[in-house]
């Protein structure tokens, strides 16, 4: 009855606990990793993880990337943005904690403080738009920004900062990143 699809679904969809009954030797389950493209996407289902702490979060070392400045990041796209910011001579902080009026904390991808204009830029890279849960969380975060006086640069910014976003709707767009950097460098 066990198939690679059933195993994949069980391992990736469970929320708190998975109980798997199998007939025969349990170590034979490892054979299913070679039967599907899905196995390449599974995180440490068949080997021990290598936990690495990045900021307040812990990730598997397999999924950590390093920027030119040596920062640990979980997104290759964020590494590209970080490297472009560095190349442009823009000083930024990666995932600097931002505490809101309600005392909750968010971690903007990049925080850039422009001493010349007094503007603080918060750059969020929206790498998973199109995923319903991701979009729901983004809308809530966007509302949180607005409630804390941080408004999109398309709306002129807010009293506590200006929010800019980049996306990956059709892959990483270097021209879009260059436009965002130009906005930051020009002060808006």
What confidence score (pLDDT) does residue 63 get?
66
Express each pLDDT in 28-70 by its tens digit: 666 655 444 433 343 555 566 777 776 666 667 766 788 999 8
Q: Considering the entire predicted model, what is its pTM?
A: 0.70
Tell me which range, 41-45, 129-133, 147-151, is most confidently predicted by mean pLDDT. 147-151
Spatial CA neighbour of 116 closest among 185, 25, 49, 32 = 185
Average pLDDT of the residues in 144-148: 97
Name residue, tokens 């640990």: 72
The residue extents of the domains of the chain are 4-47, 63-186
d(CA 63, CA 80): 15
Expressed in angstroms, the distance from the first to the final Cα of the chain is: 60
| Average pLDDT of the chain, as a whole number | 83
What confidence score (pLDDT) does residue 27 get?
67
d(CA 125, CA 172): 10
Average pLDDT of the residues in 84-111: 95
What confidence score (pLDDT) does residue 45 get?
56
Q: Which CATH architecture has domain 63-186?
A: 3-Layer(aba) Sandwich (3.40)
Give 68's DSSP letter.
T
Average pLDDT of the residues in 12-32: 72
What confidence score (pLDDT) does residue 47 get?
65
CB within 8 A of 57, min separation 6: which ones? none
What confidence score (pLDDT) does residue 9 get?
74
What confidence score (pLDDT) does residue 37 get?
41
Handedness of CA 143, 172, 169, 185 (dihedral sign): positive
d(CA 4, CA 12): 12
């Amino acid at each position: 009855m066990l198939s690679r699809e059933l195993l994949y679904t069980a391992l990736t969809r469970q929320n708190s606990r998975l109980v798997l009954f199998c007939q025969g030797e349990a170590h034979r389950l490892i054979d299913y990793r070679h039967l599907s493209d899905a196995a390449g996407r599974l995180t440490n289902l068949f080997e021990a993880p290598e936990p690495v702490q990045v900021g307040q979060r812990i990730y598997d070392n397999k999924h950590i990337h390093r920027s030119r400045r040596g920062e640990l990041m979980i997104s290759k796209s964020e590494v590209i943005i970080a490297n472009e910011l560095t190349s442009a001579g823009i000083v930024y902080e990666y995932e600097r904690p931002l505490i809101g009026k309600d005392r909750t904390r968010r971690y903007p991808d990049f925080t850039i403080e422009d001493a010349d204009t007094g503007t603080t830029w918060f750059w969020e890279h929206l790498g998973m738009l199109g995923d319903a849960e991701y979009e729901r969380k983004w809308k809530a975060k966007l509302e949180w920004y607005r409630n804390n006086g941080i408004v999109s640069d398309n709306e002129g910014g807010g009293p506590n900062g200006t929010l800019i976003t980049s996306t990956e709707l059709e892959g990483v767009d270097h021209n879009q990143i260059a436009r965002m950097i130009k906005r930051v460098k020009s002060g808006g």
